[in-house]
């Protein structure tokens, strides 16, 4: 006999999908019993304050089951009305087709691309763990919550689930509890022919605590499994719940036909009779609302925490103030002043170093005032240079602020999203630029959610040299720039590197990609105004020394030096050009028209120089300008030879500029 509380989820979900004529009723119906137990008996949350800092986090990794979480939020008392449910999948509704962070109170992360929800959850659990290690004191567990995940077969088929589950097991994240909706069904039907692995043994091999063979419709069994999971504090837990997709449907229960299509009016009516649900569409009796409502319980729980925190604040005022600042996502008051002081020091040094080293120096400088930094690398720390003097490696069952992600670029990036979503930490993580490809969908999700992790990419061009085309990024920088709401920075020296880092740290509503060189690049002297203009994404780094400029050379990163050298040769030949450094096209594009025109005056021919694909630069140079780029893959050879062979030479830039002017 199914619970009527669970049936409320089933019918709200099925009715919403039916009204929208689109959606996935099967998974919410199948997971309804799991959800009732977790949300009514275990989940610590406050519907009146969805952002309560010590709430348990709930992640619906199989995001196509979105009506499950919408039903739960509505029933427990969040700001999600029955009218919002009726608007499921409609324009600008609070109930989009997949849960979206920022649209709906109580939705902790955007899910839908399978596997990323559990990856975000690993990040949330890791943030909880690191903050607890840093801030908790004896008798004052101010950071003490669980991260719960619902996930399905599809999540476990995605490779990212292997990456993050392996790391979570290694680190021993004991407050991460996953409930696996094992219904043996996907869109294509029964999954026996393409997913036959032993899931419990798989997770045991990762070092997880596993509760297998749980009847996902037996609430007592589900409760016992969650209680058992909570008792295991040194391992994450996987609870394998055997369920029927579309549980309760009169004739379609257990069928893939319930996965991604409305049940149909006839089936819905039969299901109401089958489950004894004597109410119309979107009708829930008051006694069921009352049984679900979590406002009173949530308020009591939050008040108890507030009392604990007040005592903590009295005894540890400095720690409390720091905790509040970080959870409020505020930068230290002296941050901007600190950046300017560091920038002056950088300029005074005039260092010729690789920008990856300049990046490390920037991290070192900023970490002095940003204890919230949690850095990391996908097994390339000595190459990416993302550690700093006071970084402490996170190890199993010990805290720190530097995560060795292993060779898990996608997992790293999605975990960083989870760290950022949790709050209290400011994550960055690194790999070679080439391997941003593995991580691409997590970057997109960060941009979509308007969160601010910092993705660090080194070895940014054919300057990588002998490793060859497999490791030489050509199209990556350009394609990263195409992601909406992403700031991409490719600095040319130590000053631009520090500014790029500072801007990425300040970013509140978007992620950043910071792209750095392997090879040494010279420091370029600038005026105070030029230094200030770096943060505008593009600026004239050196104006024509004599006469009016006849053309503009635009360059980024390592090619700025090349452009400046070409400018000198051209001047010797009586051709005068401005050189524009454009470390971030995305940021430059947001500047006002007047500023843009001051950097790129109308009527002046433009030539862009960047060791990557050329297409994106034509919006700046037009069809009458020219792009010196690389529209092919690289080769294995020393960097100096590659730049020469591919036309990144002073002579070639000079030639192209002259050709444009004579056309």
Taking each continuous run of H as one helix and of E as one strand, the counts in the chain are: 27, 20
The DSSP code for 558 is T
Q: What's CA 490's distance to the chain center, in Å?
A: 20
Say how far apart CA 210 and CA 605 lie, in whole Å. 65
Say how far apart CA 351 and CA 356 lie, in whole Å. 13
Q: What is the 3-class SS of 22-85, one letter each residue?
A: CCCCHHHHHHHHHHHHHHHHCCCCCCCCCCCCCCCEEEECCHHHHHHHHHHHHHHCCCCCHHHH
Give the orientation angle of helix 409-422 with respect to helix 116-135, to 10 degrees.
60
Say how far apart CA 400 and CA 270 lie, in whole Å. 56
Using alpha carbons, select from 589, 562, 583 the residue that is nearest to residue 657.
562
Parallel, antiparallel or unpaired: strands 353-354 and 520-521: antiparallel
For Cα atoms 336, 339, 343, give the angle at the middle one, nearest 5 degrees.
Answer: 140
Tokens standing for residue 41: 């008996």
Q: What does the DSSP assignment read for 215-232?
A: ETT-HHHHHHHHHHHHH-
- 36, 128, 409, 561: the catalytic one is 409
Say how far apart CA 420 and CA 564 lie, in whole Å. 39
Using alpha carbons, select from 601, 598, 605, 592 the residue that is nearest to residue 529.
598
Strand, coil or helix: 305: helix
The helix or strand, by DSSP H or E, that contains position 404, with its residue range, turns out to be strand 402-404
Q: Which residues contact 201 (CB under 8 A, 6 or more apart)?
A: none
Say how far apart CA 9 and CA 32 lie, in whole Å. 6
Catalytic site includes residue 409:
yes
Give the orientation angle of helix 317-327 with respect to helix 116-135, to 10 degrees.
160
Handedness of CA 657, 491, 522, 547 (dihedral sign): positive
Say how far apart CA 475 and CA 631 lie, in whole Å. 8
Q: How many CB atoms within 10 Å of residue 577?
A: 26
Whether the CB-CB separation of 556 and 583 falls below 8 Å is answered with: yes
Using alpha carbons, select from 658, 578, 661 the residue that is nearest to residue 624.
661
Longest dimension (CA), the chain: 90
> What are the residue numbers of the active site?
409
């Amino acid at each position: 006999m199914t619970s009527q509380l669970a049936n409320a989820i089933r019918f709200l979900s099925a009715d919403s999908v039916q009204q929208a004529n689109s959606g996935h009723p099967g998974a919410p119906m199948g997971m309804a019993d799991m959800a009732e137990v977790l949300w009514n008996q275990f989940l610590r949350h406050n519907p009146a304050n969805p952002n309560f800092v010590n709430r348990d986090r709930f992640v619906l990794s199989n995001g196509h089951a979105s009506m499950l979480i919408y039903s739960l939020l509505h029933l427990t008392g969040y700001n999600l009305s029955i009218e919002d449910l009726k608007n499921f999948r409609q324009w600008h509704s609070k109930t989009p087709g997949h849960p979206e962070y920022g649209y709906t109170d109580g939705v902790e992360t955007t899910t839908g691309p399978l596997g990323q929800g559990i990856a975000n959850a690993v990040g949330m659990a890791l943030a909880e763990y690191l903050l607890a290690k840093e801030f908790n004191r004896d008798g004052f567990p101010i950071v003490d919550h669980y991260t719960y995940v619902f996930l399905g077969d599809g999540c476990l088929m995605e490779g990212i689930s292997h990456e993050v589950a392996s790391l979570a097991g290694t680190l021993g994240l004991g407050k991460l509890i996953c409930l696996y909706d094992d219904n043996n069904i996907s869109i294509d039907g029964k999954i026996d022919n393409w997913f036959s692995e032993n899931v419990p043994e798989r997770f045991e091999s990762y070092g997880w605590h596993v509760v297998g063979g749980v009847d996902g419709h037996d609430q007592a069994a589900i409760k016992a499994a969650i209680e058992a999971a909570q008792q295991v504090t040194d391992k994450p837990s996987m609870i394998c719940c055997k369920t029927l997709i579309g549980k309760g449907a009169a004739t379609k229960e257990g069928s893939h036909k319930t996965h991604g299509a409305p049940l149909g009016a006839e089936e819905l009516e039969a299901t109401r009779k089958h489950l004894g649900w004597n109410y119309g569409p979107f009708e829930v009796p008051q006694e069921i609302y009352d049984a679900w409502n979590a406002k009173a319980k949530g308020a009591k729980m939050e008040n108890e925490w507030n009392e604990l925190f007040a005592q903590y604040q009295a005894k540890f005022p400095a720690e409390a103030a720091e905790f509040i600042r970080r959870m409020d996502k505020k930068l230290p008051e002296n941050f901007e002043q600190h950046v300017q002081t560091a920038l002056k020091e950088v300029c005074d040094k005039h260092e010729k170093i690789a920008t990856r080293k300049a990046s490390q120096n920037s991290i070192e400088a900023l970490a002095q005032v940003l204890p919230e930094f949690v850095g990391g690398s996908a097994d390339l720390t000595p190459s990416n240079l993302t550690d700093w003097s006071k970084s402490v490696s996170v190890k199993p069952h010990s805290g720190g602020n530097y995560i060795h992600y292993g060779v898990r670029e996608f997992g790293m990036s999605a975990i960083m999203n989870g760290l950022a979503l949790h709050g209290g930490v400011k994550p960055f993580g690194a790999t070679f630029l080439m391997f941003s490809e593995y991580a691409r969908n997590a970057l997109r999700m960060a941009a979509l959610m308007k969160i601010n992790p910092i993705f660090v990419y080194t070895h940014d061009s054919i300057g990588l040299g002998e490793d060859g085309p497999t490791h030489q990024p050509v199209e990556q920088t350009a394609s990263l720039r195409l992601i909406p709401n992403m700031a991409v920075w490719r600095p040319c020296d130590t000053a631009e590197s520090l500014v790029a880092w500072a801007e990425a740290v300040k970013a509140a509503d978007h992620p950043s990609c910071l792209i750095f060189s392997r090879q040494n690049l010279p420091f370029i002297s600038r005026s105070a105004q030029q230094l200030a203009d770096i943060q505008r994404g593009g600026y004239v780094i050196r104006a024509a020394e004599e006469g009016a400029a006849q053309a503009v050379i635009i360059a980024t990163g390592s090619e700025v030096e090349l452009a400046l050298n070409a400018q000198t040769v051209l001047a010797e030949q009586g051709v005068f050009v401005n050189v524009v450094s454009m470390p971030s096209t995305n940021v430059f594009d947001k500047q006002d028209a007047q500023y843009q025109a001051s950097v790129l005056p109308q009527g002046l021919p433009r030539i862009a120089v960047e060791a990557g694909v050329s297409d994106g630069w034509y919006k700046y140079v037009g069809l009458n300008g020219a792009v010196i780029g690389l529209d092919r893959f690289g080769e294995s050879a020393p960097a100096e030879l590659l730049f020469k062979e591919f036309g990144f030479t002073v002579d070639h830039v000079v030639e192209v500029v002259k050709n444009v002017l004579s056309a």
